[in-house]
Amino acid sequence: MTTIELTRFRVDPSQVSALLSARPAMLADFQADREGFLDARLVRLPGDEWLDIVTWRSAEDFAASRAKGANRPGIAAFFGAIASLVSAEEGALS
């Protein structure tokens, strides 16, 4: 079943350019290295918060990706621009 990952995080205003600059390489790394990655949308919220909505083919694919962490340069650069995690949730697409 298709799985949706919802990750809400804070970015210091001085790091917004770094976050946005790193996004294309992060997505390319996900395409190359993450089995079951389907797509991702980044939403800017009020108060220096962002929401990343990532679609996975299955919960198993998402779990395998999570286990890899920031194992590639584009992913590490994107994660490095994040100041703090607000919340992380997972759900099945109905």
Residues 6+ apart with CB under 8 A from 19: 11, 50, 78, 81, 82
The whole model's pTM is what? 0.94
- All structural domains of the chain, each given as residue ranges with its CATH number in brackets, are 3-92 (3.30.70.100)
Q: In this predicted structure, what is the pLDDT of residue 94?
A: 87
pLDDT tens for 26-65 read 999 999 999 999 999 999 999 999 999 999 999 999 999 9
Q: In this predicted structure, what is the pLDDT of residue 29?
A: 98
Q: In this predicted structure, what is the pLDDT of residue 74?
A: 97
CA distance 7 to 50: 8
Residues 6+ apart with CB under 8 A from 46: none
CA distance 90 to 60: 12
CA distance 54 to 39: 6
Residue 19: pLDDT band (50, 70, 90) is: very high
